[in-house]
């Protein structure tokens, strides 16, 4: 099934929407924390340009107090926001897992026989956890980035328009790097998740049949098979991480270029007298915050490729139309129907070329239960069918 980034974000937003009231508190904390971030560079500018040249100890203590209050408030607000957001994520994961389980319970036997149990378990456990690790905080991180970027650009423009133009000019470079690595990261993430699911499927099947493996002396054969699957998974993980690192290094180089440009041209303006030292320090502080946000956006984009792979695997379940359906003319059997049930030469298959039952005949008397090739009566007597 082919999905787009819009489909993945739409699905994630739909699962977050029922918890909007919980997220609202976390969003409020994000907004307040974003405002407090703007104060620190202004305090530094005031300290360097006014307080230190005057050698005023009283205002120095005021500046230090503002610094402590601002950072302590940010830490407290961020902590509250993270806790509220974590609760919302856990509730979201609970709902996703329950919905997936209820949907899987409605699928036909053909679906379950064609899908390895380990793969299904991996989707319910690891893929859902992956969504919680990154995807649950995606909306909050995105809002924080947009809000902070908006306010920081305003403050940078107030301090120095020319330096702001230099920094803003680097943003297209980030977009170019992201576009170059987007398809590669998506493909690597899909492969890594699939290989990991194969390992989980092997382990589930292996330990379910460990006694048979020992009886048939197949330990070495199964170990070699496991080594092959694990090796494939390891190589897929390494390839994904390699692309993430190259993606991050390329983005970091853009930050280095931007920092050098700010220091070089900003230093020239200080020397020429068109910018104060405090103004340069404050602008540098805002520029670093902006670069951190852009670098964080690149990092989140790389991580969201992992989440996207997990979402696509979840969507394969939610959008599968393989429910158990009765034949239109199937006769209904009322409850408490007396009499025996007898099958004569019954054959059955889920797929055209794979027979499940071939010419099976047996008879079930009232009060009996059938398990395998045995019939267990209500009085616990066992007889071969």
What pLDDT does residue 111 have?
74
Strands (E) in 313-373, as ranges, are 341-351, 354-364, 369-371
Query: Rounded to whole angstroms, what are the CA distances from 322 to 69, 103, 105, 325?
Result: 59, 10, 11, 9
What pLDDT does residue 52 have?
85
Helix%, strand%, coil% for the chain, nearest 5: 75, 10, 15
Distance in angstroms (rounded) separating the CA atoms of residues 144 and 296: 11
Give the closest residue to 49 by CA, choosing from 283, 282, 285, 276: 276
What pLDDT does residue 37 have?
82
Per domain, the residue ranges of the chain are 5-318, 341-384
Fold of 5-318: ABC transporter transmembrane region fold (1.20.1560)
Q: For 117-159, how does the pLDDT look when each residue is reduced to its tens digit (9 = 90+)?
A: 777 887 888 788 877 766 556 666 777 788 888 888 898 888 8
Q: Which element (helix H / strand E) includes 24?
A: helix 20-37
Other C-beta atoms within 10 Å of 379: how many?
7
Q: Using CA of residue 308, residue 309, residue 314, residue 320, what is the dihedral sign?
A: positive
pTM, rounded to two decimals: 0.58
Of the chain, the percentage scoring pLDDT greater than 90 comes to: 0
Residue 222, pLDDT above cutoff 60: yes
Q: For 231-260, how does the pLDDT look when each residue is reduced to its tens digit (9 = 90+)?
A: 988 988 898 888 888 887 887 788 788 888
User: Is-contact 309 8, C-beta < 8 A?
Assistant: no
User: Is-contact 302 248, C-beta < 8 A?
Assistant: yes
Phi first, then psi, for residue 338 (nearest 5°) are -75, 165
What pLDDT does residue 384 have?
35
Q: For 270-313, how does the pLDDT look when each residue is reduced to its tens digit (9 = 90+)?
A: 898 888 899 888 888 888 888 878 777 766 766 666 677 777 77
What pLDDT does residue 381 have?
36
Instruction: Beginning with the edge strand found earlier in the chain, give each strand of the sheet holding 374-376 in spatial order.
Output: 369-371, 374-376, 382-384
Residue 31, pLDDT above cutoff 60: yes
**Which residues, including other chains, have CB under 8 Å from residue 285's CB and lie 6 or more apart?**
40, 41, 44
**What does the buried/exposed string (b/e) look like for 88-98 if buried means 16 or more CB atoms within 10 Å of the residue's CB?**
bbeebbeebee
Residue range 342-346: mean pLDDT, rounded: 84
Q: For 64-95, how does the pLDDT look when each residue is reduced to its tens digit (9 = 90+)?
A: 898 889 888 888 988 888 788 778 888 888 88
């Amino acid at each position: 099934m082919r999905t787009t980034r819009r489909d993945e974000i739409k699905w994630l937003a739909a699962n977050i929407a029922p918890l909007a009231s919980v997220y609202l508190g976390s969003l409020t904390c994000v907004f307040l924390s974003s405002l407090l971030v703007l104060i620190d560079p202004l305090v530094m500018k005031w300290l360097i340009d006014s307080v230190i040249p005057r050698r005023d100890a009283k205002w120095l203590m005021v500046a230090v107090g503002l610094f402590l209050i601002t950072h302590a408030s940010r830490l407290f607000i961020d902590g509250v926001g993270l806790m509220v957001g974590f609760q919302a994520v856990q509730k979201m994961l609970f709902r996703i897992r329950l919905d997936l389980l209820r949907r899987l319970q409605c699928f036909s036997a053909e679906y379950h026989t064609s899908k390895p149990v380990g793969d299904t378990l991996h989707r319910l456990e690891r893929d859902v956890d992956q969504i919680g690790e990154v995807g649950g905080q995606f909306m909050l991180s995105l809002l924080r980035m947009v809000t902070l970027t908006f306010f920081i650009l305003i403050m940078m423009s107030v301090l120095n328009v020319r330096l702001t133009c230099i920094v803003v000019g680097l943003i297209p470079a980030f977009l170019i790097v992201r576009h170059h690595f987007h398809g590669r990261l998506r493909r690597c993430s899909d492969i890594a998740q699939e290989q990991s699911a194969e390992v989980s499927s092997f382990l589930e099947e292996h330990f379910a049949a460990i006694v048979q493996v020992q009886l048939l002396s197949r330990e070495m054969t199964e170990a070699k098979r496991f080594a092959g699957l694990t090796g494939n998974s390891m190589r897929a993980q390494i390839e994904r991480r390699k692309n993430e690192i190259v993606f991050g290094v390329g983005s970091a180089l853009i930050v280095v270029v931007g920092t050098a440009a700010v220091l070089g041209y900003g230093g020239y303006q200080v020397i020429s007298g068109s910018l104060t030292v405090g103004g340069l320090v404050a602008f540098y502080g805002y520029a670093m915050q902006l670069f951190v946000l852009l670098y964080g956006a690149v990092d989140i984009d790389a991580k969201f490729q992992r989440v996207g792979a997990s979402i696509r695997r979840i969507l394969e379940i939610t959008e599968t139309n393989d429910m158990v359906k009765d034949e239109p003319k199937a006769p209904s059997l009322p409850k408490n129907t007396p009499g025996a049930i007898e099958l004569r030469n019954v054959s059955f298959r889920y797929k055209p070329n794979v027979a499940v039952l071939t010419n099976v005949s047996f008879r079930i008397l009232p009060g009996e239960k059938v398990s395998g090739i045995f019939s267990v009566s209500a009085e616990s007597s066992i007889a071969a069918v």
